[in-house]
Chains A and B, each alone.
Chain A
């Protein structure tokens, strides 16, 4: 009886070791497999978007927001922005806007993150979203319209669209926005150097609104100036970049 139990136990231990060995072999095969990303999926209708948060609009906004931020870059994968379907992406931004029109998270992503793509023409649908958000008088939304002007001018090289957006900015319904926004059409028309224009705008925003912005947004803007707008030599000379380790 005892020997029989011992024999069964040995068999069980043997089978367990075998299962473990098979598991390790399968792990060696599967460890480098990455899930396939099928590009930005179509966005749901605004009416049903709260379902992402089981009926809670704000929860859905944050869940979708983080999902948009990490589109294509999860599971150890990194995807170039030029691969993204910007039409679908823009629909997602509008869904986010319907869930929470007050937050700056999605406009921020659209303006400062997804604008850094290698094929600027793909960005065009996002401009209309930035325009729709930026034209609002609430909060500091006007800066997203500024970014739309800058992207259309600097990245896309589309002076007509840039001028049209700049004119809307100059006639913005919010009264207490910085003076330079009124000068934007002139900036575009005069076609001054891209870096100079972008630098002026960003520094002016920092000067006029830094106390109204969140600390991380100010840091992001300084980082954007020192790494995207200025060359390494220019950044080293600029006092604004003095606190960035790279240029100290």
Chain B
């Protein structure tokens, strides 16, 4: 995003809207730091500049900078997946798709959340760690998959590494007996990154929303805890195509 200096009246209204504090005064005008800007377009959509001084950067759709927009603006349709959003339908439609089976556990690493974002160099540390742990299949419908240069090593495409994203999701599936080792890997790589990520684990439940004890035990054993609030697929979807 950019602020047209000839229009800006320096009211500062847009500044608090930026999730990453990329907007600050440059003299008497507001200016966006292009290195920090995630191209999420929140300032354009929500700040309601009184003089319409906010606009898109001229290079916002140039590759690889365009990645910032596709991952950071929740309303942007991702070129790799054709859908809005950083991840896939994951657990949300599993009752219709059956993508994650009863003996599997889905893991999502929500990069940069909440609100900090992350550099692609840090994301690569996570994809490499996951590959070293023996998981070479990142969910193919997830936009992160299209950024992988080498599934065996987890290396991302080198030309992307200078970019930053407000949020992205690495999604993998493992067998239940692999859950502990992948959680251990995630815990270790957390020490190497200069930002934050949230971790999710999704699993098919038993009657009465009974969470499999084997899954909970693996989570406990690796020193993780789960929050009291969760997302529940109510089991009301079905396939007809």
Q: Do the two chains belong together in a single complex?
A: no
**Residue ranges of A at the interface with B (Cβ–Cβ < 8 Å):** none
